[in-house]
Amino acid sequence: MGKLIDPYGREIDYLRVSVIDKCNLKCFYCVPDDVGSCSPNVSEVMSLEEIINISKAAAALGIKKVRLTGGEPLVRKDIVEMVSKISQIEGIDDISLTTNGVLLNKLAPALVKAGLTRVNISLDSLNPENFKKITRGGALKKTQEGIQAALKAGLTPVKINVVAMKGINDGEIEEFVKLTVENDLHVRFIEYMPISKSHQKQWGECFIPLSEIQGLCEKIGPLEKQFSFHGNGPADYYRIQGAKGLVGFISPVSRHFCGQCNRLRITSDGKIKPCLFSMDEIDLIEAGGDQEKIKQLFLQSLKFRPDPHQVDKNPDSRFNCSKREMQQIGG
């Protein structure tokens, strides 16, 4: 089994696979200006066979962790079968999924049986009306039922992803932190990213830096850094004294984490994105399912990984350089 090591010494062992670019919600920070469609449609996405072939090639090169994303991955009718087949690939020891939780209530038991190990659930408001506004029509109750189903199915700790936004949900940050006190939940606050030019005005109005987010969290109590807990991603974790769960912070804007990046992304139409904030893409579908060709394309993609030291010098270069919206990348 080989290894994927980029020109800057970063070992890549984590693959994020967007299995569909459509969603059953339409969050305003993901789909800007209330345009575009997020209706479930799998006509232009990778087939199950293509996803399994790509995952097998990646595992042969040292990928150990696979996260299935979207859009909303649970709108795919074959998602349980997909998890089952990936779980059988030699070398893959962790399969996780990012979801809005709407369909998780009925799918959680089957996903666990198929081999799913962890789940992240997007939840940006605890107020039904605010949730409906952010998601453009979603029902908070369905996501809450999905969270309970995940806990019951043993997908613990359940991670809750909260995109913190000024004037939108910053008044709820303390309530989110309180969730960790009595529940085995990891609530992670994520800085809002200006992933493309279409987000610029909206981002400027809503962005909150990590320092402010953390200050709001500390109103509940002192945050104790958890050095012993390490997730697969860039979050730093803290605990309110005596709490069952953790509070996490992900800061792609004010304190970038490029130097520790251990992942590659596959878009729903089968392109490798060597970096979230890059225009560069490499088409895996052109390999026609040939394992050796797919491996060579993975190796080729490493050459397009950015120099983290150059990002330090010019942090603004990370943004406004993607030709896809967030729902097309998978986060």
Amino acid at 208: I
Gap between the Cα atoms of 187 and 176, Å rounded? 7
Gap between the Cα atoms of 11 and 13, Å rounded? 6
Note down pLDDT in tens along the chain; length 331 residues. Answer: 578 999 999 999 999 999 998 899 988 888 766 555 565 444 579 999 999 999 999 999 999 999 999 999 999 999 999 999 999 999 999 999 999 999 999 999 999 999 999 999 999 999 999 999 999 999 999 999 999 999 999 998 899 999 999 999 999 999 999 999 999 999 999 998 876 666 677 877 889 999 999 999 999 999 999 987 766 667 899 999 999 999 999 987 766 667 778 999 999 999 999 987 778 899 999 999 999 999 999 999 999 998 876 655 554 555 555 556 665 666 6
Query: What are the residue ranges spanned by the domains of the chain?
Result: 4-329
Contacts of 276 (CB under 8 A, 6+ apart): 195, 252, 265, 322, 329, 331
Of the candidate CATH numbers 3.30.70.260, 3.20.20.70, 3.30.465.10, 2.60.40.10, the domain formed by 4-329 belongs to 3.20.20.70
DSSP string computed for 143-205: HHHHHHHHHHHT-PSEEEEEEE-TTTTGGGHHHHHHHHHHSSEEEEEEEPP--SGGGHHHHHH
